[in-house]
Structure 1
Amino acid sequence: MLVDGITYMHEHTTIDLSEVKNSEDCNLDILEETVNEYKKLYDKGVRNIIDVTNFGMGRNIPYVQKVAEESGINIVCSIGFYQETFYPIQVFRETKEQLAERMIKDIYEGIKGTDIKAGIIGEIGTSHNKWTETERKVFEAVIIAHRETGTPITTHTTLGTLGHEQVAFFKKKDVNLNRVIIGHVDLTGDSDYIFHMLDEGAYVEFDTIGKENYMSDKTRANILKEIQDKGFINQVFLSMDITRKSHLEYQNGIGYSYLLDQFVPLLEQTGVTEASIEKLLIKNPMDFMKG
């Protein structure tokens, strides 16, 4: 599913959350600029992007495939349902079994009538310090689809909250935690909080790199150094979670290349080794996605 090279584990090639957020900036639909940035990533060694735009988030498979074809990057598409604020009506109307069947179909047959099969379930989310009844139904549906297909799972934690609760849920359901990624943990800025999830055996993502309005990259780098020194670097991924037009270079945003151009040098300055960086960017994604 992945090809040799760097993998960004949590991105959005296109996404549309503009209606809920009441901002056209949240409609990432600029094909030419996205292709240009993905081509730059390709030149820097990026070969895979895990695209976690799912049902109800403005998913557009032909658009994503066009970006993949023009940039040369292998884009892995996802299936799932984000969090309650952004759920389409079907999530409220259907049973967990019906939602699971939607996911299973996308994994085995293809998404929205295409031949593009979902390679990961996610990003499935909980709200800020709150796990709603409908969100819990989605997680139950994901368990059914995961058991049927063996497809790995990636989650959304709003501002890093409820990560422990998500881990406990999967553990209670006897899901092998080495098939689960807990997302956005870097937003906690709390190494002890993150180490609990690593101790349990889950993978975690530092996937909002460059969004320093939420958390400083220096804090992220320091925690990654601590994770390395305590022997958990094999369970961590990196990404940026680009979701807005203003995040891209053409609007003077940080752009997708920031991770490699700015954050990796910061990791090196902090004492994260070349071997660890290779694991974060290349080896860990490959090992996780191949199961």
Structure 2
Amino acid sequence: MIDATGYTYCHEHLHIDLSPQKHAIDCRLDQYELLCDEMREVQKRGVRNIVEVTNSFMGRNPQFIEDLIDDTGINVLLSTGFYIEGFFPDEIYSMSASQIAQGMIREIEDGLEGSRLKASVIGEIGSSEDHFSPTEQKVFQAAAIAHLETGRPISTHQSMSTMGKQQIELLKKSGVEMTSVTIGHCDLRDNFDHILWMLDQGCYVQFDTIGKNSYYPDSKRAASIALLCQRGYEKQIMLSMDITRRSHLKANGGLGFSYLIDEFVPLLKQHGVNDLQISTLLQSNPTRLFG
């Protein structure tokens, strides 16, 4: 469970391997000592929790995370579920939503195979860019079943900030309360009205690709968050970086995990976000959802 005494990154990867699909070794994030260094550094900055949303068939490695926890003291919440088209195991296509859900429930209640750890988040479950395939929808239905059985929160993936409305509508139809849902990757394009609509449904939204300026500039992320805080939505917003590549790590020339605290938080302050609001985004909100 979450350590309420510090900050939480709501959407990260500490061990992920998308290299088979992306044909690039950079997409295999598994450099243990460098990740230990990164976790020690973020803890110096008040970060206590990492929500690790790597799930089955994305290169999840609970034994690796166990060692990371033991060697650095960082608190990590692990996830159960399936990602998006192109990253599904073959058997998922012939399984029912109920069968998929049983696997999720098992990983939450009994634990992850070969590990002492249990999943405590249902995620990162996603939709493709501008498309929500039947199998992706089936995974969402399974997530709803698992959530209703276990009470664990649901964390989603929007490809390029698309299809969030459809995700919410499906989860609502499946009986999920929006206060138990966080919609991922809301910060990859100009979509302020879309974000407002999602917030008004009662869910959380994630500005979770902070630092990925090639997709969308952090200056715009900060301006959007400031405007949302002015409008009273700060209790529904969370922050993260979605680090997935070796080249994202500080030692490899990337921004590193500490960038969010060292660079983005001061940028928020420049845009008028105050200390209490920053604490709400990074501490209170994740504690409420993931606690």
- Classify the TM-score, shorter chain: over 0.9
Q: Contact (CA 8 Å) 1:109, 1:115: kept in 2 or not?
A: no
Amino acid at match of 2:33: E
**Shift of residue 208, structure 1, vs aligned partner:** 0.1
The percentage of counterpart residues that share the same residue type is 46
**Shift of residue 143, structure 1, vs aligned partner:** 1.2
TM-score by length of 1: 0.98
> Equivalent residue of 2:155, what SS?
strand
Amino acid at match of 1:2: I
Tell me which residue corresponds to 1:82: 83
**Shift of residue 192, structure 1, vs aligned partner:** 1.2
Is 1:117 aligned to 2:121, yes or no?
A: no
Q: Tell me the distance in 1 between the aligned counterparts of 2:209 and 2:34.
A: 20
Tell me which residue corresponds to 1:207: 208
Is 1:234 aligned to 2:235, yes or no?
A: yes
Question: Structure 1 stretches of 5 or more lacking a match?
Answer: none
After the TM superposition, which residues 138-157 of structure 1 pair with which residues of structure 2 at under 5 Å, given as runs? 138-157=139-158
TM-score by length of 2: 0.98
> Equivalent residue of 1:111, what SS?
coil
> Equivalent residue of 2:171, what SS?
helix
**Shift of residue 114, structure 1, vs aligned partner:** 2.4
**Shift of residue 98, structure 1, vs aligned partner:** 1.4
Q: Tell me the distance in 1 between the aligned counterparts of 2:200 and 2:248.
A: 34
Q: Tell me the distance in 1 between the aligned counterparts of 2:56 and 2:158.
A: 18
Tell me which residue corresponds to 1:178: 179
**Shift of residue 121, structure 1, vs aligned partner:** 0.1
> Equivalent residue of 1:246, what SS?
helix
Larger fraction in helix: 1
Amino acid at match of 2:2: L
Give CA deviations for 1:38-92 in whole Å, capped at 9, x if unaligned: 0001111111100000000001001011111111110010000000111112212
Amino acid at match of 1:122: G
After the TM superposition, which residues 1-291 of structure 1 pair with which residues of structure 2 at under 5 Å, given as runs? 1-3=1-3, 4-290=5-291
> Equivalent residue of 1:187, what SS?
coil
Q: Over aligned residues, Cα RMSD in angstroms?
A: 0.9
Give CA deviations for 1:179-222 in whole Å, capped at 9, x if unaligned: 00000001133211101000110100000000000000000000
Q: Contact (CA 8 Å) 2:129, 2:159: kept in 1 or not?
A: yes
Q: Tell me the distance in 2 between the aligned counterparts of 1:241 and 1:273.
A: 24
> Equivalent residue of 1:237, what SS?
strand
**Shift of residue 99, structure 1, vs aligned partner:** 0.8
Count of aligned pairs: 290
Q: Tell me the distance in 2 between the aligned counterparts of 1:265 and 1:160.
A: 25
Question: Structure 2 stretches of 5 or more lacking a match?
Answer: none
Amino acid at match of 2:264: F
Q: Tell me the distance in 2 between the aligned counterparts of 1:58 and 1:216.
A: 29
